[in-house]
Amino acid sequence: MKILGEKIRHYRKLRGISQSELADGICTQATVSLIEKKDKIPSMEILVRICERLGITMNLVIVNDDSQIYSIISDIKKSFYQDDFEGISDKLGKLKNINVNNKQEIKLIHFFNGLIEYVTSKNYDKAIFDFNRAMNVNIANVDMYDILIDVFTAKAYINKKSMDEARVYYNQAKDLIKSSLDKIGDENYHDSILIYSNMADLSLKLDENQKAMEYANEGIFIARREQTLFKLDEMYCYLADAGTREGQKTDEDYIKAYVISSISENKTVFEKLKIKMKDMHLNIF
């Protein structure tokens, strides 16, 4: 259970009473201060009496662990969509003192811990360890994150120069995609696009150019269907890189990636493409 101290403060202010007045005959003013500022959980008797004095029910100011865990993991996913890895790390810290029993949530926590090791710390051995812990959580139904776990495990092995191991997980991811096509199409479009975008990137790293184009095109189709710019610049960039390797004319795809990265303010892709287009003598103006 967690108490929402800010809610206590909100209702106290709404009633126009001070901390001392709220505490009078119930507890000390310091206790009220700790509740409001530090989310300190008082005894149930004190909490009941405080809520009675404020004229509210307890469910307005407390959340159980399950609700809290679900909320935090939902926020972690949003940070993932925004490439906000510092935000992911901060939110994972909030879960350290909470007992998590749901297997799906345990799997996701292991995955995101591995992701932080992979992206931020570049500790690829630890990342692989965490990804494998996620894989070993015994859940009957496959979901989108099972594919992403394989993808990032493969990427971690590539960074370790272990290409044979990387291909094992790459092939596992491909098999999961084949068996989950309908599910991917019906999933939250962010998750679907993340799968195809990362698979295009991974395919390029493994010199699977045709597969890179296939996955990039699948992701682009979903992004256009949903009318979103989410990862669209990156997918056009992967499509163009793969096409270039295959000897295809890719000027149009590079230009699309460049324009979209400018609109979406994706500085990483924009700066990369600015150099690329200069080298290719492409001028969109």
Q: Collapse the DSSP code of 50 into the 3-class scheme (helix H, G, I; strand E, B; otherwise coil) and give the result.
A: helix
Residue among 5, 142, 141, 126 nearest 62 (CA) = 5
Torsion of CA 198, 218, 185, 115, to 10 degrees: 0
Q: What is the pTM of this model?
A: 0.76
Could you tell me which of 31, 35, 26 has the C-alpha nearest to residue 53? 26
User: Taking 60 as the threshold, does the pLDDT of residue 111 lie above it?
Assistant: yes
d(CA 26, CA 49): 7
List pLDDT tens digits, range 54-72.
Answer: 998 887 887 665 677 888 8
256 has a pLDDT exceeding 80: yes
Which carries the bigger pLDDT value, residue 20 or residue 37? 20
Domains, the chain: 2-63 (1.10.260.40)
For the chain, what is the mean pLDDT?
Answer: 90
- The sign one gets for the Cα dihedral 212, 218, 224, 228 is negative
